[in-house]
Amino acid sequence: MPGFELFDESEKQQVAEVMDKGFTFRYNFDGMRNDVWKARELEQMIQDTIKVKHAHLVSSGTAALTTALAAAGIGAGDEVIVPPFTFVASVEAIVLAGAIPVFAEIDETLCLSPEGIEAVITPRTRAVNFVHMCGSGGYMDKVKAVCDKHNIVLLEDACQATGATYQGQSLGTFGQVGTFSFDSVKTISCGEGGAVLTNDSKIYDYAHQYSDHGHDHIGSDRGAESHPIMGANYRISEMNAAVGVAQWKKLDRILDIQRRNKKSLKDALKQYSEISFRDLPDEAGDNAGFLSIMLPSETRAREVVAGLQAEGIPAVFYWYGNNWHYLKNWTHIQQMKGPAKLPIELIADRPDYSQVKTPKSDEIMSRTVSMLINLSWSDADIQKRIDAFANVFK
């Protein structure tokens, strides 16, 4: 999955163009940059590829989530539905927006289920943060129908699913606003970076303003710009955007390699009766960054993970015991612990996150094992993994 596996001279050339002709700041300095605008260039490439009206680059996927929430009007006291299986930033962004995370159940897509969302909607629900985990999403037509029925915002966290689609439409473009991440280990890497995606011009205006201290970006004199709203500093630099320009040109190649490598491994594992596979609502649209298998029980899943590790196979993830990606292991979230008083502490009837239960998700995740699909694998590397599974299951 990591785009850095395909770093070559093209990334260096893009960065060199900024250093030789351009300027590192993404706004203004028109006379110094010789019409070199890497952030604008990458934004246009994203828009053209995924068929979205607006893409706005920011400094990280977390910054994209934070900006997306603010731009969509989600703030103090609003409830936002989120899955227990995600990267912790999905929850942190909600809390730091002053909103209230509400955990709902996933299904075997490894994403929020429409039924799980429906079950936790209350009069205070303002949004669903739908996270497309491990390169694929859920049944987006059904998810969108639930959100539309209740008039709540669908925010898509597609940070792990760049290039993935559902029924031909890019993930990140079904809801009012979506996000990508371009950090060092994502499908497309800028080193650090992210993007806010939307077809709503009002949300876009708020996004580019909020991520740059409220600047309206009208005209070419930064000091003369107005500030319609307050904001923060989530700007991407031209250096990071330059790396992204080179990487985005490789997206089709990256997806082709991932899908080919994943198919080889998955086809070999179909012979084992103990293994079932993650539910992919649109297998052709999977970006194939991970292969996720399900075992009969938690005990067997742990045995398989230990066996693969003993065989020397890296990047095997047992999310149920992972400190980064599953609610039950996030003591700082369960305790809502920050360096200073959090806005959620002012809400008297806030949930007790130490008591949140997601039994359906626990049952699924306790049996799930995922393997990262690398771009750099040779045929021998793939065969090594097939042989390792054979030894574990013999």
Q: What is the dihedral of CA 361, 362, 364, 367, to 10 degrees?
A: 160
262 is a catalytic site residue: no
326, β-bridge pairs: 85
Q: What is the dihedral of CA 19, 60, 109, 82, to 10 degrees?
A: -170
- Residue 379: other Cβ atoms inside 10 A: 9
Question: How far is it between the farthest Cα atoms of the chain?
Answer: 71
Distance CA(290)–CA(141), nearest Å, equals: 23
56, β-bridge pairs: 196
Q: Give every CB contact of residue 267 below 8 A, 6+ residues apart in sequence.
A: none
The DSSP result for 157-202, as a single string, is: E-TT-TT-EETTEETTSSSSEEEEE-STTSSS--SS-EEEEES-HH
Backbone angles phi, psi at 365, to 5 degrees: -70, -30
Using the structure block, give the residue that is written with the tokens 């306790």: 366
Rounded to a whole number of angstroms, the distance between the first and last alpha carbons of the chain is 29
Distance CA(176)–CA(198), nearest Å, equals: 6
Backbone angles phi, psi at 382, to 5 degrees: -65, -45
Measuring CA to CA, which residue among 6, 50, 46 is closest to residue 285? 50
SS percent in the chain: helix, strand, coil, step 5: 45, 15, 40
Catalytic residue among 53, 144, 149, 186: 186
Instruction: Kindly state the tokens that stand for 46.
Output: 């994203």
* Under 8 Å between Cβ of 371 and 385: yes
List alpha helices for the chain, DSSP H: 9-21, 38-50, 61-71, 89-96, 114-120, 140-150, 201-210, 238-248, 251-269, 298-310, 331-334, 359-365, 379-393
Distance CA(268)–CA(265), nearest Å, equals: 5
Enumerate the active-site residues.
186
